[in-house]
Structure 1
Amino acid sequence: MFQNVSNDSALGYAQLQEQPLNILHIEDSVADQALARLHLQRGLPACTVTPVDTLQDAGQALSTQNFDLVLADYHLPGFTAIDVWDLVRALPAPPPFVLLSGAIGESAAVDIMRLGISDYLLKDQISSLPHVIKRALEVHEARRARHRAMQELAASEKRLAELTEHLHTSIEQERASISREIHDDIGGSLTAVKFDLAWLLRNTPQGPMQSHARSALEMLEHALGASQRIMQNLRPPVLDQGLVAAVQWLASDFERRSGVPVRLRLSREHMDIAPALQLVAYRTAQEALTNISKYAQASRVDIELSDQEGFLTLEVTDNGVGLSAGAREKPQSFGLRGLSERARTVHGWLDISSQAGCGTSIIISIPLDASATSVQA
């Protein structure tokens, strides 16, 4: 019947004891009212007891006063403690509820405890009433503290999710801006220099001058290639052609660079997907392929992209060495965590299935009706 509570709960009750306790006692027997008051005054001298004997008076008292605890008999004329409990739990902040009754069956006691009533005590054990009330208050305070902590945690997680979404948005906007600058400014300037060097090569006689011009042109070609790779990694223009084209480009580029064959399966050749969802799926595929090239030692990669049954689903699977049991829990494993957080920004989720020596499968699923307008492509 009684539960152990922590020192924090006891401290909460000690703080509560600094103020007098206001107790509502629902009892139709004047003698039992007096006996309960006597024991309460002995064990809890600062308490104030308000006795009532009808359901209407109980409702009136609960609506006009704040009680620290409700004490009630089980059987009363025309109603039971369950009716009183219905009134109590409808309150914005229900106080603890203790049942003080005569003979009550064990099954009935279990049933009322399941309803949320704090505790019960038989009248022939009324000397324990102060102790039962103290314990009910301690447990109640501990539950309130836990509820507050959970609310604060939920609020903190919400703020963290909003910050993550803001960071992803800012990063993607900055990537798009840098990519445009590389394309418009650096790329244009390098291309102009390339034409000038090509003219010099055509119009310079054989000798050291032409040799230097040819070497400069080779270096320039290298710089142009590097700028193209950087621009593609930041935000490939192929994304403007849709997710299917972007994933096809990723697969072919990975296959060309790594030599690992990639099999791509699509639910359809063209998918009408919101740009924000396309970007999240693309970044997931990009990160998955990057991890495969760095760590997996795979000889085959499968990519499946589907927009069926109301979900955008991307699965990237390899036959490599797989992830060890603790790899995903490493403090510095930000890549996989970042994918999971990115999925949450569009109300999706990420699943990673892996076994050492048997490859890895990364799946992202996103509702196609996800409200993801805050993430800019």
Structure 2
Amino acid sequence: MFNRGPVSVQNAGPSAAGLPRFMTAAPGQAASGLGPDAREATQLAILFIEDSLADFTLMRAVLVDAGLNVSAQCVDTETTMRQALAERAWDAIISDHSLPTFSGLRALKVAKEVGFRGPFLIVSGAIGEETAVEAMRAGADDYVMKNNLRRLPPALERGLREVQTRDQRQRAETALASAHDQLNAVFSATPVALFAISRERTVTMWSPACEDLTGLGSTDTLSRSFALPSQPDTWKLLTLIAPALDGTEVRGLPFSIETKGENRELLVSASPLSGSPPSGCVVALSDVTHLAHAQAELSRSESQLRELSRHTERVRENERAELAREIHDDLGALVTRIRADLALARRRSREKETAQLLDEAEQMVASLGEAISRIARAMRPPVLDFGIVAAIEWQARDFAQHTGITVNVHTNQDDLALELEQSIAVFRIFQEALTNVFKHAQATRVDVDLFADDSTLSLEVRDNGIGLSSDSLRKRTSFGLRGMMERVHGLGGWMDIGGSPQTGTPPFRGTTLMISIPLNPPTLSLPGGKSPHHEPEDQE
């Protein structure tokens, strides 16, 4: 036994440049699993609690002989031990069991108080089994008898490995706890109803939003077989998420559930958990009830608007027909009588100049009669009474005569009987299509295909003009196309128009307009105006 201050000793020979790794690394990080060369280069900072300088020198020599690069300091009192622990970080502590004013168990307690995390080994010349067990229970990593110091190096390295493993496990547990807390926070904060389910259909997580949606709390669901208040809803939802339990993600499947006396519209998504096959899946239930209600209300509004548009068109066509009849019958008859009177006055006139003036007036009245007839035909073409095929062919000839643009009509029907509303709508659409060709296309030729079978009528109008740009299709003032679309939708059909703008010299690809209407349309137009074809923005 001896009294002295702290004794510091390092291995002979040059030290590695910079700070020793154990000054910054976790205890035991470098020595674990190292070969002889690596252990020689890795310096271990070891604090010895020992009152015998000879024993300290011997233990250090044993470690050096085992190939360990040791930086050692020896203390023999609690005060000097606390001072050494405060001055630097240590990789390990090796303590004598019994000292004159100190003990190994007390040193172990001090090490714990200051937060030492490395291995703590006890060496003793004579230690009983009960004392050794007490030291191990108190937290010592191992004990070595002084008469068997060859066990010291492997015991130290084993302790360093165990500390490293313990630290890694603690870090993993901390990270897992943090991830679990974050997941719980996400589950609690998200407005989307989330729950997790195992392959055995056991609920493992249940968010507050799920409780709000279903009325089932976590105590009713966790660690129990998945079940909704309604058994049919349970089986339907399990069927929807079944692919996720087999490893395939599920995205946005519609699902409705009746809960709290209200029908809720949901979108179901599910992601498989890890494993092959997956250990389970996480399910998200997005409540889109308000969106479904809004969509239904929008569809009803669109349907009502189209019904109003159809009614307005019917009233307008009826007014046109009535006005055309009045113009033809009243004004036409009046013009005819005026012509007759002028002709009679001309024949009875004895003055040449008066007769000439009467003749000119008769010719002007004749022109007025022709204009009246033309206006009446435009307002309500009488040819519609002979069927839509005849009306299309008449309009094509009239357009070609007045514009010089060639129009070819092809049809598989010589006579096609449609309802009056259908005939008028198709005829007006054809009129507007030809008007657009004349105003915008710069075309020299138009081909028209009119085909019908037992259930559908289709009309296609193609020109060889300059085509349409996307800006033209998006014009908000394109009331011509808007009117055509409304007419087609009102009949339960669809319309498509396309044509890329071309530059350079002819021939061009032009524009193609297609419409299709059912010959036995439903009473109401299609909800929301949906059609299987893309509908462009309107063009005038």
TM-score scaled by length of structure 1:
0.67
Question: Which of residues 251, 263, 266 in structure 2 aligns to 1:93?
Answer: 263
Equivalent residue letter for 1:93: N
Number of aligned residues:
293
In structure 1, the gaps of 5 or more residues are: 11-31, 51-65, 98-102, 119-138
SS at match of 2:263: coil
| Pairing 1:81–2:227 present | yes
- Picking from 303, 318, 331, the partner of 2:476 is 331
Among 451, 466, 469, the alignment partner of 1:306 is 451
- What's the offset of the Cα at 1:180? 0.9
Secondary structure at 1:273's aligned position in 2?
Answer: coil
Q: Name the aligned partner's letter for residue 73 of structure 1.
A: T
Unaligned runs of 5+ in 2: 1-182, 193-202, 235-256, 268-272, 503-508, 526-540
Query: Shift of the alpha carbon at 1:202?
Result: 2.8
Q: CA deviation at 1:84?
A: 5.7
Q: 1:322 is paired with a residue of what secondary structure? A: coil
Matched, 1:361 2:512: yes
For 1:262, the equivalent position in structure 2 comes to 407
Question: 2 CA distance for matches of 1:292 and 1:334?
Answer: 15
Shift of 1:347: 0.6
Q: 2-side partners of 1:313 and 1:95: how far apart? A: 38
How far does residue 151 in structure 1 lie from its aligned partner after superposition? 2.4
Taking structure 1 as reference, are residues 206 and 293 closer, same or farther at Cα in structure 2, changes over 3 Å only? farther
Q: Deviation per CA, 1:169-209: give whole Å up to 9, x if none.
A: 11111111111111111111111212222222333235221
What's the counterpart of residue 291 of structure 1? 436
Shift in Å, 1:94: 4.5
Distance change in 2, residues 1:145/1:193 (3 Å): same
Partner secondary structure for residue 81 of structure 1: coil
Q: 1:3 to 1:246 in 2, by over 3 A?
A: farther
- For residues 105-144 of structure 1, what are the structure 2 equivalents within 5 Å? 107=278, 109-110=280-281, 113=283, 118=285, 140=287, 143-144=288-289
Once structures 1 and 2 are overlaid, which stretch shifts more, 301-310 or 337-346? 301-310
Assess if the C-alpha contact under 8 Å between 2:214 and 2:228 holds in 1. no
Match of 2:73 in 1: none
Q: Contact 1:74 / 1:81 at 8 angstroms: preserved in 2?
A: no
1:41-67 C-alpha deviation (Å, 9 max, x unpaired): xxx9xxxx99xxxxxxxxxxxxxxx96
| 1:344 Cα offset (Å) | 0.9
Distance 1:185 1:354, change over 3 A: same
Indicate the residue corresponding to 2:357 in structure 1: 212
Cα displacement string for residues 326-356 of structure 1 (whole angstroms, at most 9, x for unaligned residues): 1122111010011011011111111112221
Q: Which amino acid aligns with 1:317?
A: R
Partners of 1:371 and 1:170 lie apart in 2 by: 20
In 2, Cα distance between the equivalents of 1:147 and 1:87?
19
Q: Tell me, what secondary structure is at the counterpart of 2:477?
A: coil
Correspondences of 1:33-48 after superposition (within 5 Å) = none
**In structure 2, C-alpha distance between the alignment counterparts of 1:188 and 1:373, rounded to whole Å:** 42
* CA gap 1:107/1:278 in 2 versus in 1, 3 angstroms: farther
Q: Map 1:1-377 onto structure 2 (within 5 A).
A: 68=215, 71=218, 72-73=220-221, 76=224, 80-81=226-227, 86-87=232-233, 89-91=257-259, 92-94=262-264, 107=278, 109-110=280-281, 113=283, 118=285, 140=287, 143-308=288-453, 310-357=455-502, 358-371=509-522
* Counterpart AA for 1:350: M
Deviation at 1:244, TM superposition (A): 1.2
TM-score by length of 2: 0.48
Task: Give the conservation status (yes or no) of the 8 Å contact 2:265–2:289.
Answer: no
Q: Is the 8 A contact 2:303 2:524 kept in 1?
A: no
Where relative contact order (Cα < 8 A, 6+ residues apart) is larger, the structure is 1
Q: For residue 58 of structure 1, what is the aligned residue in structure 2? A: none
Q: Which has the larger radius of gyration?
A: 2
Secondary structure of 2:514 counterpart: strand
Q: Deviations over 1:11-37 (max 9, x none)?
A: xxxxxxxxxxxxxxxxxxxxx9xxx9x
Q: Distance in 2 between matches of 1:206 and 1:341?
A: 61
Name the CA distance, whole Å, in 1 between partners of 2:524 and 2:297.
27
**Percent of aligned pairs with the same amino acid:** 33
Distance in 1, matches of 2:387 and 2:188, equals: 60
Counterparts in 2 of 1:96 and 1:70: CA distance versus 1, 3 Å: farther
Q: RMSD value over aligned CA atoms?
A: 3.8
More helix by share: 1
CA–CA distance in 2 between the matches of 1:96 and 1:201?
86
Report the Cα offset of residue 264 of structure 1. 0.9
Quick one: which amino acid aligns to residue 298 of structure 1? A
Paired residue type of 2:425: V
The answer for the alignment partner of 2:3 in structure 1 is none
1:373 Cα deviation after fit: 10
